[in-house]
Amino acid sequence: QQPDDHLKERTTCPYCGVGCGVKARLEQGRMVDVEGDSDHPANFGRLCVKGSALAETLGDHGRLLEPRVDGRPVDWEVALSETASRLQAIRAEHGDTAVAGYLSGQLLTEDYYVANKLFKGFLGTPHLDTNSRLCMASAVAAYKRSFGTDAVPCNYEDLEEAELVVLVGSNLAWNHPVLFQRLRVAKARNPLMRVVVIDPRVTDSCELADLYLGIRPGSDARLFNGLLTWMADRGRLDPVYLQRHTNGFDETLAAAREAVSDIESLAADCDVDAERLETFYYWFSSQLHVVTLYSQGINQSTSGTDKCQSIINCHLAGGKIGLPGAGPFSITGQPNAMGGREVGGLANQLAAHMDYDSPGAIDRVTRFWSTPELTPTLPEAPGYKAVELFEAIERGEIRALWIMATNPLVSLPDANRVRAAIERCPLVIVSECMTDTALVEMADIVLPASGWSEKDGTVTNSERRISRQRGMLPPPGEARHDWWIISEVARRLGFGEAFDYSHPYQIFTEHAQLSGFENDAEHQRRLFNISALAELDRAAYDALSPIQWPVTAKAPLGTARLFEDGRFITADGRARLWPVQPRGPEQSLCNDYPLRLNSGRIRDQWHTMTRTGRSARLMNHRTEPFVEVHEEDAREHGLVDRGLARIVSATGEMRARVRVSPAQRRGELFVPIHWTDRFSGAALSGSLFRGLTDPLSGQPESKHGAVRITSL
């Protein structure tokens, strides 16, 4: 019997960005059950179906149990030495920037921090990006442009306190189910609360909708530009807020007017009923307490940053921010997309919310990471963002790639091209939990990593709340924690003095110190600051309760809401409205590919199903890859409900079961992202989308493919 038997250990769910607290019951060294943690402020005891099935998804079956080099099992000493020596050989022959890393929002903050420090600090390459690029990079770019920093102003209570909640590009009911449960309860308690759903598909989130706008895909910025002009024309702006706390309103309004004519034309552009559109505008403009919640439906676009911006513009113009129940609220997809942003895991970031062009940042981080014997050599400029990174591999510019906790063969657009790029990369290192993925088969070096329930560290959820994920079970076989693997490779590269960690609390406190390091100059202040946690000892770290950053001497209990004083992190302290010229999707429809393809998650699965696919009850929700089709499209293309179809684009194809659905607009299809060729032979939805990205954020356009469909 294990010493921890029967205890209920507290940890955090590893799936979506809600970041629910979980209590796990252990018996005889196994996790036998989980329940929601009633003390966790994200969920107060609730769990969705994925979270409540966590105990069913564990076990050694399918786990990667030993390191491998060139397909042969080896011990850790060989694996680590080979990793270090092969990386070093490529650096010596092709330079530091021939090395790249590709990380994941599934990693814990401590793993992320150590990886960022190794690649950008000591390997001297800026090419370290993350699959979070696919999730919320557009939201980050727009927040930075408007607020001077990447900071989500709201919290989950704001959703409950709002008089109007606008869900746009977000199927909250399926993708953030516990938040949807909280919204449902809040709406039942407050009969005056209204919910508006803006989405091309009629999703389960419409259950709460007082108003549904089934817009044309990609017309979101046009719709919010229209809202801005509507508010201006009817005297429904907040001139005092605009005058005291913002810049850029006049040019922003002028640009919106250029793009918007009368309400009928606007409604026709967005393909919605004009009266319903005006009802939304009226509701938005007549309430102060409005939360607009958005997710991948907004972000995953070649104009994602501008779409986010058009939402932020309306909130700033109406003074609907920095108040209870008000603000533009981007919800992250992954459990630690936010934590990755904090450490600098995006290629355009340096560390701790400092960018390459932040004044003095390169020098500051260099000094912070220096040891008596070692001085890091930080790059001078940002690296390649996810899609660019794989293009650089294709060109032969990047010759060594270390992928951790993600499978770009499945998740990136233009998946066949990504596969070809990885195949031609001379050195591919993969840190992974599971053994039977195509990526593992392609890797030169495979490093078995520990997973949820084994790892110790922190994650940050969508409301900036840092929570502990706790290790309670031993990793199987030879699996090791990611921070340990990275540190051991760093040691073999000669950087051991800077990576002398024996427990993740040391990494977390170093990260907390960096967040507060020289973070005091008013004109250069960084909002991400958790310096009040920098002195935690191991026991205090183990016991850390969920807390929202900033956590400073002035706010030792954390900060629930940002910008309450109307001061932003720009040079003059004012928020910036930014003109938006709406642009449609870049993947154009044509005779060969006449249908618009949307993609997304389903309720009971997570990413590539390596965990959720192990639970029979989760698999029961949808048992196979499918494509949802409007009934008239089905008729036109010779499809029958429950029949098989082949979906083809200029870049790839997928086979799937047809579901004729009244939720689909005419001319549009929906496919789930989860199934890989491991399951069905040919169900890689990522292969159907071209690798087109937003020019500012680098986020791919994974909601706007151009395809044709035929019956099989």
Q: Please report whether residue 527 would count as binding ligand SF4 according to CB under 6 A.
A: no
- The stretch among 170-178, 403-411, 430-438, 527-535 that binds ligand SF4 (CB under 6 A) is 170-178
Give least dist CB 17 to ligand SF4, A: 7
Stretch that binds ligand SF4, among 43-51, 116-124, 587-595, 627-635 (CB under 6 A): 43-51
* Torsion (CA) 147, 113, 399, 373 in degrees, nearest 10: 120
Q: Which is nearer to ligand SF4, 511 or 611 (CB)?
A: 611
Count of residues interacting with ligand SF4 (CB under 6 A): 14
Residue 177 near ligand SF4 by CB under 6 A = yes
* CA–CA gap between residue 409 and residue 417 (Å, rounded): 9
Least Å distance, CB 338 to ligand SF4, is 13
Q: Tell me the per-residue interface mask from 193 to 232 with ligand SF4, x by CB under 6 A, - otherwise.
A: ----------------------------------------
Q: Do residues 692 and 385 touch, judged by C-beta distance below 8 A?
A: no
Candidates 16, 389, 428, 459; binder of ligand SF4 (CB under 6 A) is: 16
Cα–Cα distances in Å, from 559 out to 293, 335, 339, 462?
A: 20, 20, 16, 14
164 binds ligand SF4 (CB under 6 A): no
Cβ atoms of 559 and 548 within 8 Å: the answer is yes
Q: Which is nearer to ligand SF4, 11 or 348 (CB)?
A: 11
3-state secondary structure of 369: helix
Query: At 68, is the secondary structure helix, strand, or coil?
Result: strand
Among the listed ranges 172-180, 344-352, 363-371, 699-707, the one in contact with ligand SF4 (CB under 6 A) is 172-180
Q: Does 48 bind ligand SF4 (CB under 6 A)?
A: yes
Task: Find the binder of ligand SF4 among 10, 11, 19, 194 (CB under 6 A).
Answer: 19
Residue 50 binds ligand SF4, judged by CB under 6 A? yes
- Shortest CB 460 distance to ligand SF4, Å: 13
d(CA 273, CA 267): 6
> Which residues face 28 on adjacent strands?
none
Contacting range for ligand SF4; rule: CB under 6 A; set: 11-19, 151-159, 324-332, 618-626: 11-19
Determine the Cα–Cα distance for residues 617 and 435; give it in Å rounded to an integer. 23
For residue 178, the minimal CB distance to ligand SF4 (Å) is 4
CB of 22 to ligand SF4, least distance (A): 7
CB of 433 to ligand SF4, least distance (A): 18
**Is residue 18 at the binding interface for ligand SF4, with CB under 6 A as the rule?**
yes
Nearer to ligand SF4, 13 or 31 (CB): 13
The CB density around residue 70, as the number of other CB atoms within 10 Å, is: 10
- Region of 2-10, 74-82, 174-182, 189-197 interacting with ligand SF4 (CB under 6 A): 174-182
Query: Binders of ligand SF4 among 447-466, rule CB under 6 A?
Result: none
Helix H or strand E encompassing 24:
strand 21-27
Beta strand pairing status for 644-649 and 705-711? antiparallel
Nearer to ligand SF4, 51 or 579 (CB): 51
Q: Please choose, out of 44-52, 128-136, 412-420, 515-523, the segment that lies near ligand SF4 by the rule CB under 6 A.
A: 44-52
User: Residue 128 interacts with ligand SF4 (CB under 6 A)?
Assistant: no
Burial degree of 283 (CB within 10 A; 0-12, 13-18, 19+): middle
Residue 570 neighbours by CB distance under 10 Å: 18
Does 20 bind ligand SF4 (CB under 6 A)? Our answer is yes
Q: Is 384 in the site for ligand SF4 (CB under 6 A)?
A: no
Indicate whether 108 belongs to the interface with ligand SF4 (CB under 6 A): no
d(CA 200, CA 210): 16
Interface with ligand SF4, residue 613, by CB under 6 A: no
Stretch touching ligand SF4 by CB under 6 A, among 10-18, 321-329, 472-480, 650-658: 10-18
Binding ligand SF4 (rule: CB under 6 A), the pick from 100, 151, 178, 533 is: 178
The per-residue b/e assignment along 17-29, b for 16 or more CB within 10 angstroms, e otherwise, is bbbbbbbbbbeee
The percent helix, strand, coil of the chain (3-state, each to 5) is 35, 20, 45
Closer by beta carbon to ligand SF4, 12 or else 450: 12
Length of the chain as a residue count: 712
Identity of the residue, 51 or 550, whose beta carbon is nearer to ligand SF4 in the bound complex: 51
Q: How far is the CB of 169 from ligand SF4 (least distance, A)?
A: 18
The single residue among 26, 31, 47, 533 that binds ligand SF4, judged by CB under 6 A, is 47
Chain centroid to Cα 607, Å, comes to 12
Whole-angstrom Cα distance, residue 163 to residue 165?
7
Nearer to ligand SF4 by Cβ, of 13 and 656: the residue is: 13
Which window, 173-181, 517-525, 561-569, 574-582, contacts ligand SF4 (CB under 6 A)?
Answer: 173-181
The residue among 68 and 176 lying less far from ligand SF4, judged by its C-beta, is: 176
Q: Is residue 706 a contact residue for ligand SF4 (CB under 6 A)?
A: no
DSSP one-letter string for 77-124:
HHHHHHHHHHHHHHHHHH-GGGEEEEE-TTS-HHHHHHHHIIIIIIS-
Q: Which of 15, 284, 294, 505 binds ligand SF4 (CB under 6 A)?
A: 15
Consecutive H or E run containing 447: strand 445-448
Give 308's Cβ-side CA count (13 Å radius): 30
- Residues 216, 365: Cα–Cα separation, whole Å: 45
Q: Smallest distance from the beta carbon of 606 to ligand SF4, in angstroms?
A: 7
- Site stretch for ligand SF4 (CB under 6 A), options 45-53, 102-110, 312-320, 492-500: 45-53
Name the minimum Å distance from CB 455 to ligand SF4.
16
Output the six-digit token pair for 156: 């989950």
Please report where in the chains the tokens 């009934």 appear, as a residue: 631
Closest CB 48 distance from ligand SF4, rounded Å: 3
Judged by CB under 6 A, which stretch of 16-24, 78-86, 102-110, 244-252 contacts ligand SF4?
16-24
Question: What's the Cα-to-Cα distance from 558 to each of 325, 470, 545, rounded to whole Å?
Answer: 18, 21, 11
Residue nearest to ligand SF4 (CB): 51
Specify whether the CB–CB gap between 666 and 271 falls below 8 A: no
Q: How far is CA 104 from CA 406, 546, 581, in A?
A: 6, 22, 32
In the complex, the smallest distance separating the C-beta of residue 578 from ligand SF4, rounded to whole angstroms, is 31
Q: Which is nearer to ligand SF4, 178 or 654 (CB)?
A: 178
Distance CA 466, CA 545 (A): 8
Considering only residues 426 to 445 of the shown chain, the ones binding ligand SF4 according to CB under 6 A are none
Angle between helices 76-94 and 482-490 (to 10 degrees): 60
Q: How far is the CB of 469 from ligand SF4 (least distance, A)?
A: 11
Binding part of the chain for ligand SF4, among 42-50, 276-284, 478-486, 682-690 by CB under 6 A, reads 42-50
33-68 burial code (b ≥16 CB/10 A, e <16):
ebbbbeebbbbbebbbebbbbbbbbbeeeebbebbb
Identify the H or E element spanning 229.
helix 220-233
**Which parts of this chain interact with ligand SF4 (CB under 6 A)?**
13, 15-16, 18-20, 43, 47-48, 50-51, 176-178
